[in-house]
């Protein structure tokens, strides 16, 4: 058996900021992964899934990175209970491809299906059903972790619960996840029964959100260019997996999305000029008015409902070579959300994508992001210093009301504000240090926020 082929590669998260050059191994088998880990020398290590975290969570300079996406074997499935055991590099698109035709769907999905189950646990991802189903980690048991010592251990809520807690949302800093068991949920077909409700401002958003608490999935797009009485106008979407016999079939829009995914690549549109205030304003205007006022009932395919942006590969390149930053926060107070939208709208630094949702009561502690309140996700082209200054200002508002920002989307939060946002960080670090006393697992985010070392 040969030795590990390490290759220098430039890695980046989805925001393409920052980018790091690092020594990578891309094992195809578990034995190759274990060998790469042994052969890393004394270098620190970090796993890299599909790089759908936006910032520096999946990146490590001066270390070794293990790319996990080829470790994608499904190991066992129980059709009676829906429990799937799989390697950590299995992606949600793999799971959906194999199990949707058999009547099962992942329990929680983010806005893209191109994430690995390892990445899903390390960011403890949430979806449109957070208010009822919590996060990815709520549907997982028996996680197999390679520790810094080289030992392999299992953990879940009963076995090594502290390791499980610290690994869930732990940004890859407790060890390399080799496999896990996740519970898939039965669905009747590939369709979604949904309603769209046009809301004219933030107050209407909160009203519709309150009356939609029983829908399994809710999320809204808002036009964050607006200020004053129309601030927060947008499209509220609610619904869930369709009942038996209700089927969208395949529509022209689905065919077009399928075509776009095969043939349209965002890299063709790479430009620092494409997404600016004027184009974003025009898009928002058209998108808002495209949806008729009132409540519309639709049966759609699951793709445009769950993964609308996946229709164009590499759409992140359309922000240009400077990259972009996503700012996702959750605040327990609505007024703070209003204040943030006001600042963003006045700044002239428009966000192309603005998503808002109210989380449920489930919290997980540690470094997991969701907590009760309203979450807002905004994408900004990387305008440099003016943007960074505005985001620092937003952090202060978030900290003041006891909110936090999503670390899986972050590339710039200060250590000081991180500590205020995540008051359990010391407890989390104590658990991590116990399981990784040699500080083998590190990342750029971990170094910036003082989570390692």
Ligand X SMILES: Cc1cc2nc3c(=O)[nH]c(=O)nc-3n(C[C@H](O)[C@H](O)[C@H](O)COP(=O)(O)OP(=O)(O)OC[C@H]3O[C@@H](n4cnc5c(N)ncnc54)[C@H](O)[C@@H]3O)c2cc1C
Residues that bind ligand X (CB under 6 A): 14, 46-53, 57-58, 68, 88, 110-112, 115-116, 118-120, 122-123, 125-127, 171-172, 176-177, 309, 408, 443
Nearer to ligand X, 121 or 242 (CB): 121
Cβ at position 80, least distance to ligand X in Å? 28
Cβ at position 110, least distance to ligand X in Å? 3
Rg from Cα positions in the chain: 21
Distance CA 110, CA 130 (A): 10
Cβ at position 290, least distance to ligand X in Å? 21
Nearer to ligand X, 14 or 99 (CB): 14
Cβ at position 99, least distance to ligand X in Å? 18
Instruction: Give residue 358's Cα distance to chain centre.
Output: 16
Nearer to ligand X, 132 or 343 (CB): 132
Distance CA 303, CA 3 (A): 41
For tokens 């240090």, name the residue: 433
Distance CA 39, CA 334 (A): 51
Cβ at position 176, least distance to ligand X in Å? 4
Nearer to ligand X, 122 or 202 (CB): 122
Nearer to ligand X, 88 or 391 (CB): 88
Cβ at position 232, least distance to ligand X in Å? 19
Nearer to ligand X, 53 or 209 (CB): 53
Cβ at position 71, least distance to ligand X in Å? 8
Nearer to ligand X, 165 or 231 (CB): 165
Distance CA 108, CA 406 (A): 17
Nearer to ligand X, 125 or 387 (CB): 125
Cβ at position 128, least distance to ligand X in Å? 8
Nearer to ligand X, 231 or 398 (CB): 398
SS3 track for 326-362 = EEEEEECCHHHHHHHHHHHHHHCCCCCCEEEEEECCC
Nearer to ligand X, 231 or 364 (CB): 364
Cβ at position 229, least distance to ligand X in Å? 29
Cβ at position 21, least distance to ligand X in Å? 17
Task: Supply 108's token pair.
Answer: 């929680």
End-to-end C-alpha distance for the chain, whole angstroms? 34
């Amino acid at each position: 058996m040969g030795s590990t082929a390490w290759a220098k590669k430039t890695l980046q998260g989805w925001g393409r900021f920052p980018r790091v050059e690092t020594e990578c191994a891309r094992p195809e088998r578990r034995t190759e992964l274990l060998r790469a880990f042994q052969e890393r020398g004394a270098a620190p290590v970090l796993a890299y899934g599909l790089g759908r975290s936006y910032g520096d969570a999946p990146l490590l300079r001066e270390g070794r990175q293990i790319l996990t996406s080829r470790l994608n074997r499904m190991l066992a499935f129980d059709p009676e209970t829906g429990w799937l055991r799989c390697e950590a590099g299995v992606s949600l698109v793999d799971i959906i491809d194999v199990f949707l035709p058999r009547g099962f769907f992942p329990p929680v999905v983010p806005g893209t299906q191109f994430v690995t189950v390892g990445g899903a646990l390390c960011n403890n991802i949430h979806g449109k059903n957070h208010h009822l189903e919590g996060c990815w980690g709520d549907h997982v048991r028996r996680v197999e972790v390679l520790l810094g010592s080289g030992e392999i251990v299992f953990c879940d809520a009963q076995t090594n619960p502290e390791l499980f807690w610290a690994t869930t949302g732990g940004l890859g800093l407790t060890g390399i996840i080799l496999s896990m068991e996740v519970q898939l949920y039965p669905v009747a077909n590939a369709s979604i029964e949904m309603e769209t409700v046009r809301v004219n401002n933030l107050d209407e958003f909160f009203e519709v959100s309150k009356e939609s608490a029983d829908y399994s999935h809710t999320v809204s797009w808002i036009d964050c260019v607006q200020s004053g009485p129309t601030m927060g106008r947008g499209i509220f979407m609610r619904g869930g997996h369709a009942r038996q016999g209700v089927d969208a079939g395949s529509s022209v829009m689905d065919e077009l999305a399928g075509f776009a995914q095969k043939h349209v690549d965002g890299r063709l549109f790479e430009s620092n000029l494409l997404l600016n205030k004027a184009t974003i304003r025009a898009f928002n205007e058209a998108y808002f008015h495209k949806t008729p006022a009132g409540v519309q009932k639709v049966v759609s395919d699951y793709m445009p409902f769950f993964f609308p942006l996946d229709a164009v590969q590499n759409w992140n390149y359309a922000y240009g070579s400077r990259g972009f930053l996503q700012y996702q926060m959750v605040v327990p107070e609505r007024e703070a959300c209003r204040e943030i939208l006001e600042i963003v709208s006045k700044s002239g630094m428009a966000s192309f994508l603005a998503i808002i949702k109210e989380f449920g009561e489930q919290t997980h502690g540690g470094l997991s992001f969701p907590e009760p309140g309203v979450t807002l996700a905004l994408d900004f082209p990387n305008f440099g210093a003016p943007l960074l200054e505005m985001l620092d200002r937003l952090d202060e508002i978030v900290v003041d009301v006891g909110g936090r920002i999503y670390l899986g989307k972050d590339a710039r939060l200060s250590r000081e504000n991180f500590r205020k946002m995540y008051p359990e960080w010391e407890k989390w670090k104590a658990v991590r240090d116990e399981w990784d006393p040699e500080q083998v697992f590190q990342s750029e985010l971990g170094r910036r926020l003082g989570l390692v070392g």
